[in-house]
Amino acid sequence: MAGADASSAAPTAPADWWRRLGLAGPVVQAPMAGVQDHRLAAAVCQAGALGSLPAAMLAPAALAAELQALRAATTGPFNVNFFCHTPPVPDAAREQRWRAWLARYYAEAGLDPQAVPAGAGRAPFSDALADVLEPLRPAVVSFHFGLPAAALIDRVKRWGSLIVSSATTVDEGLWLQDLGADLVIAQGLEAGGHRGHFLDDDLSRQMGLLALLPRLARALGVPVLAAGGVADAAAVRAARQLGAAGVQVGTAYLCTPEATTSALHRAQLAGDAARHTALTNLFTGRPARGIVNRLMRDGGLLSPEAPAFPLATAALAPLRAAAEARGSTDFTPLWAGQRADACRTVPAAELTRELLAAWSA
């Protein structure tokens, strides 16, 4: 781990980073793999904020198509987001134990466990993905789970994109700054989706945004964006008060018509179930926050039997498909943050304009 000293690192992007990009304010729509494509990103860009395209589950050809569609839909700057985990070495014994635990569900659904393939489903940032990205030179490229190898960071910097990644502790923020992040996202524990932690998987070190944001803002020379529970005007103002140089908002966009959030997921967001979100590693192998459902209740939320990220997903895929076909979310990852109550079925542009207005109020 890099032992960076905050005072020795020169800021590479000033607090008015968003003006330099030509945005109306420092509002970023969080990239959300699985629930959005270029349409949500484009709507946010058109409203004057930074739209994000999640690429974690896109192969190069699909990424190229999405980028082309996004560029055609907006002339504004945008962000493209990648995961940068180290792919795990498959562990046959662990996979076996995981499938043994799932056997009761296969039996209940009448599925043959032997017919279920293993596999990753999410690939980290690579030269092949960078080849697709380079001609577009997006204004911002963001990463989750740290940063890719130095050669890849240099490549992205050479073509001029700002580099952004999430920190869940002060140590992670200093590490990101030291390795070249131009902006750092303070991802509070309230956030929906995967925790971005990468230096230490001890969840007791994870902080709520109210604690994490001022500590990161004080420790870092680069601008810090607030994420996690920022879902309305009051939260945007509070983030600014606590030293944020902008906000990244995810959950609040889940019910906008431009998101691809499924009808089943939307129904859960709108109901009482959304009052209880929790961290679970059962869906992918890494802790992520979602609405508590049957798999999470049965599995005790965090299990050492779940294969390492992202290998846990494959064995669940047929169970999820079978359940969803009969209208059940028992095996669906219902990613959402603790402010799921703030989800509204309003156009993404309307929500974006509210968040922008709150920043400058």
Ligand X SMILES: Cc1cc2nc3c(=O)[nH]c(=O)nc-3n(C[C@H](O)[C@H](O)[C@H](O)COP(=O)(O)O)c2cc1C
- State the angle between helix axes of 60-73 and 38-46 in degrees (0 to 180), rounded to the nearest 10: 30
Minimum Å distance from CB 266 to ligand X?
12
Among 79, 339, 355, 358, binds ligand X (CB under 6 A): 339
Considering only residues 48-67, where is the footprint of ligand X by CB under 6 A? 54, 56
Smaller CB separation from ligand X, 99 or 173: 173
Q: Which stretch binds ligand X (CB under 6 A): 64-72, 153-161, 243-251, 322-330?
A: 243-251
When asked if residue 336 is in the footprint of ligand X (CB under 6 A), the reply is yes
- 132 vs 309: CA distance, rounded Å: 25
- For 189-234, the DSSP string reads TT-SEE----S---GGG---HHHHHHHHHHH-SS-EEEESS--SHH
When asked if residue 191 is in the footprint of ligand X (CB under 6 A), the reply is yes
Smaller CB separation from ligand X, 102 or 259: 259
Q: Which two tokens stand for residue 37?
A: 């494509």
User: Considering CB under 6 A, how many residues would be counted as binding ligand X?
Assistant: 27
Among 13, 33, 129, 156, binds ligand X (CB under 6 A): 33
- 238 vs 67: CA distance, rounded Å: 34
When asked if residue 168 is in the footprint of ligand X (CB under 6 A), the reply is no
Q: Tell me, what DSSP letter sits at residue 121?
A: -
Please name the amino acid found at residue 321. A
Q: Which stretch binds ligand X (CB under 6 A): 156-164, 186-194, 314-322, 347-355?
A: 186-194
Among 337, 351, 358, 359, binds ligand X (CB under 6 A): 337
Helix intervals (H) in the chain: 17-21, 38-46, 60-73, 92-109, 127-133, 150-158, 170-178, 209-219, 233-241, 263-270, 294-299, 312-325, 348-360
CB atoms within 10 A of CB 154: 10
When asked if residue 35 is in the footprint of ligand X (CB under 6 A), the reply is yes
Beta bridge partners, 247, equal: 27, 226
The SS3 call for residue 34 is: coil
Q: x/- contact string, 72-111, with ligand X (CB under 6 A)?
A: ---------x------------------------------
Smaller CB separation from ligand X, 59 or 103: 59
- Identify how many contiguous H helices and E strands the chain contains and give both numbers: 13, 11
Smaller CB separation from ligand X, 32 or 156: 32
Minimum Å distance from CB 214 to ligand X?
18
Minimum Å distance from CB 9 to ligand X?
23
Q: Which two tokens stand for residue 93?
A: 């014994």
Q: x/- contact string, 115-154, with ligand X (CB under 6 A)?
A: -----------------------------x----------
Considering only residues 279-298, where is the footprint of ligand X by CB under 6 A? none
Smaller CB separation from ligand X, 172 or 190: 190
**Do 146 and 178 touch, CB atoms closer than 8 A?**
no
Smaller CB separation from ligand X, 30 or 308: 30
Minimum Å distance from CB 288 to ligand X?
8
**Do 213 and 224 touch, CB atoms closer than 8 A?**
yes
Q: What angle do CA 71, 77, 81 make, to 5 degrees?
A: 85
When asked if residue 244 is in the footprint of ligand X (CB under 6 A), the reply is no
Smaller CB separation from ligand X, 227 or 311: 227
Smaller CB separation from ligand X, 177 or 268: 268
Query: Pick from 339, 341, 332: which is nearest to 249 by CA?
Result: 339
Among 37, 172, 182, 190, binds ligand X (CB under 6 A): 190
Smaller CB separation from ligand X, 230 or 351: 230
CB atoms within 10 A of CB 20: 12
Sites of contact with ligand X (CB under 6 A):
30-33, 35, 54, 56, 81, 144, 187, 190-193, 227-231, 248-251, 335-337, 339
